[in-house]
Copies of this chain bind each other. A is one copy, B any other.
Amino acid sequence: MLGNTYDNQTCSIARTLELIGERWTILIIRDAFLGVRRFDEFQRSLGVARNVLQGRLERLVENGILERVRYQERPERFEYRLTEKGLDLWPVVVSLLSWGDRHAAPEGPPVLLEHRGCGGRVNDRRICETCGALLGPRDVKARLGVAPRGPHEPVQPALASR
């Protein structure tokens, strides 16, 4: 955990990293934006140890980025949803995605962001390249781009909807 080591930094970037800079945390937030809500779904998506995942989720709830909501009474079951504070992390997620697409995706972007309204591509300013709308996370859907593939697998058809 990054926590206290950044304490001497009076800086909004350092403070943000104190809250979301731990290993896995940003990928949990990414999954939450893709619609993942339940513990087992996060676990399957990330392949991370359950105790690590539990710790990260609890910390995100403590910090008001996720909320834990009961979705079933008997037996009690809970899911994790982004709060408004969590939804405000969308620019961070999009900026990391855009840089990786440009500099760390030699086979092409694994995921494409698309404006729900008109189907346009979403640029790194979260503006629709087709209609020019300023987009929030609820205006955008993710589609598979170039599918993951091993060395001997053919490329999967693009644009499977997610």
Contact = CB atoms under 8 A, between A and B. Distances in A.
Interface string A125-144: 11100000010000000000
Interface string A3-25: 00110111111111111010100
Interface in A64-117: 85, 88-89, 91-105, 109-111
Q: Binding site of A, secondary structure by majority: helix, strand, loop or mixed? A: helix
A38 interface: no
A147 to B, nearest CB: 8
Interface of A: 2, 5-6, 8-19, 21, 23, 26-27, 30, 46-48, 85, 88-89, 91-105, 109-111, 124-127, 134, 148
